[in-house]
Amino acid sequence: MTFKEKILRFNWALFLPMVALIAIGTVAIWSSGNAREALFHGMWKNHVSSAVFALVVYFVLAFTDWRSIVRWWAPPAYVISLLMLIAVLFAGSEVYGGKRWLWFFQPSEIGKLCVLVFLAYLIMLWAEMREASSPLALEADDGHSRAPGSFGVFTVAAAAAGIPALLILAEPDLGTTLALVPAVIVMLVAAKIWRKGLFALLAAGAVGASLVLGAVYEAEKPGQSAERREAILKLVPLKPHQVKRVKTFLFQDSDPMGAGYNARQALIAIASGSKHGRGIGKGETNRLKYLPPSVSMNDFIFCVWAEETGFDGCLALIALFAVLCSAGAWTAWRAKELEGRALALGITTLVFAHAYINIAMSVGMLPITGLPLPFISSGRTFLVTAVSGLGIVQSISIHNQETA
C-alpha cells in the first residue's frame, strides 16, 4: 500500500475528536494552573509539548501495519512493562501514599496499553494455530472467526492480564486497574474466548461488588455500634482510605469537611456552571481554591471545565468522546482479523472506561478514585499512551483492506 493510499484511508472521525479534546485539555489546564502557585502556571505548555510528541508517535503507529506492531513489538513491550511495574515498587517515587512514578513517567499507564497489545498477540497466535490444525474451525455462519475449546487460551490471557493488574494494585492504584479490567474483558468477548465462563465471572463480580457496597453501607450507617462496624469491615477487601471513599459515596453528607470535601466541591463547581458557564478562567470554585488545587488539574479537571463552560461545554465534551468511541467501535466492526477487532475494541473501551469513570466520579455517580480524563487531564504519560493507543486503532482502520 502506498503512502498516498494510506492518506486516503485515514479515518478523520478517529483523529479530529481526539485533537479537539486535547485542545480542551490545554484550555482547562491553563485555567486550573492559573489558580495555583506560579510554578503551575505553565503546565499547559507541558500538555502541548506532550501532545506534539504523542501525535508524532500517533502518525508513526498509524502508518505502520498494525499486524507487525502486534507480532514483533508486543512480546518485548509486555516484558519491559512488567519489569517497569516491578521496578516502581522498589525504586518508585512515593506521591500521596502510592508508588506510581519511576523517574519522570508512570509505568502503570504504559503497562495498560502493553497488556492490550499483548492480548492481541495471544489471540493472533491462537487463531493461527486453530486455522493450521483445521482451516474450517474458525468459520462461523456470520463469517466471523470462532474457535471452540478456548478455556486454555482464556487461562493464559487471564494470567497475562492479571499479573500486571496485581502489580498495579500493589502500588496501590485501584483506579487504573478498574479501567483495565473492562478493556480486557471486551477483548476476550470480541475474540469469542470462553464466553460462557466470562459472563459467569462477570455475574460473580457484580454480586461481589454489590456485597462489598452492602457491607460498607451496613458498617457505616448512622447508629451502628463500633464493635459491629469493626467486625463487618474486617470482611471487606478494601483499605481504610477506600472504605472512606465508598462511605462518602453512600452517605454524601456524612463528612462534608473531611473525606467528602472533594466530592462536595466538585458538585458545587459543576452546578455553578449552570447552562452557559462562568467563562474561561472565571470559575470561582476553581479560582478561589475551594476545588482543591491538588486535584483540579488532573482527577477533577472535568469540574473546572463544567464550571467555566456550563452544560453546553459538558455536552460538547461528551459528544466528542461519543464520536471518538463510536469511530473506534466502527473500526473494530470492519476489521477482518479476529485480533484486529479485539484490539480496536480493547483500546476504545480503555478510553471509554477512563472517561466514564472520571466524569461519573465527578458528578457523584461513582466513588472517588484517582483516574485521569483522557486527553484533558494533566499527565504526560497517560496522554502519550492514550494517543498512541488510538494510533494503533487508526492503523487497523487504514490497513483493514490490506492482506498480511
Residue 143 has pLDDT above 50, yes or no: no
Domain assignment present for residue 305? The answer is yes
Domain assignment present for residue 130? The answer is yes
Rounded to two decimals, the pTM is 0.89
pLDDT attached to residue 10: 92
pLDDT attached to residue 259: 64
Q: Residue 312 — pLDDT band, cuts 50, 70, 90?
A: very high
CA distances from 89 to 58, 100, 242 (A): 29, 8, 20
Burial class from Cβ neighbours inside 10 Å (0-12, 13-18, 19+) for residue 72 reads exposed
pLDDT attached to residue 139: 47
Q: Residue 151 — pLDDT band, cuts 50, 70, 90?
A: confident
233-281 confidence digits (pLDDT tens): 888 888 787 788 788 788 776 666 666 777 888 888 898 888 888 888 8
Domain assignment present for residue 57? The answer is yes
Domain assignment present for residue 33? The answer is yes
Total number of domains in the chain:
1
Q: Residue 134 — pLDDT band, cuts 50, 70, 90?
A: low
Q: What is the mean pLDDT of residues 78-96?
A: 84
- Round to whole Å and give the CA distance between 395 and 290: 44
Which cell goes with 271? 452546578
**Which residue range(s) make up the domain with 376?**
3-398
Domain assignment present for residue 403? The answer is no
Domain assignment present for residue 338? The answer is yes
Q: Are 312 and 277 in contact (CB under 8 A)?
A: yes
Domain assignment present for residue 32? The answer is yes
What is the pLDDT of the chain when averaged over all its residues? Answer: 86
12-46 confidence digits (pLDDT tens): 999 999 999 999 999 999 988 887 777 677 788 99
Q: Are 33 and 281 in contact (CB under 8 A)?
A: no
pLDDT attached to residue 39: 65
> In the chain, what percentage of residues exceed pLDDT 90?
44
Q: Are 270 and 283 in contact (CB under 8 A)?
A: no
pLDDT attached to residue 83: 94
**End-to-end Cα spacing for the chain:** 11
Domain assignment present for residue 404? The answer is no
The long-range contacts involving 50-57, CB below 8 angstroms and separated by at least 24 positions, are 50/380, 50/383, 50/384, 51/22, 51/26, 51/383, 51/387, 53/384, 54/383, 54/384, 54/386, 54/387, 54/388, 55/387, 57/384, 57/387, 57/388, 57/391
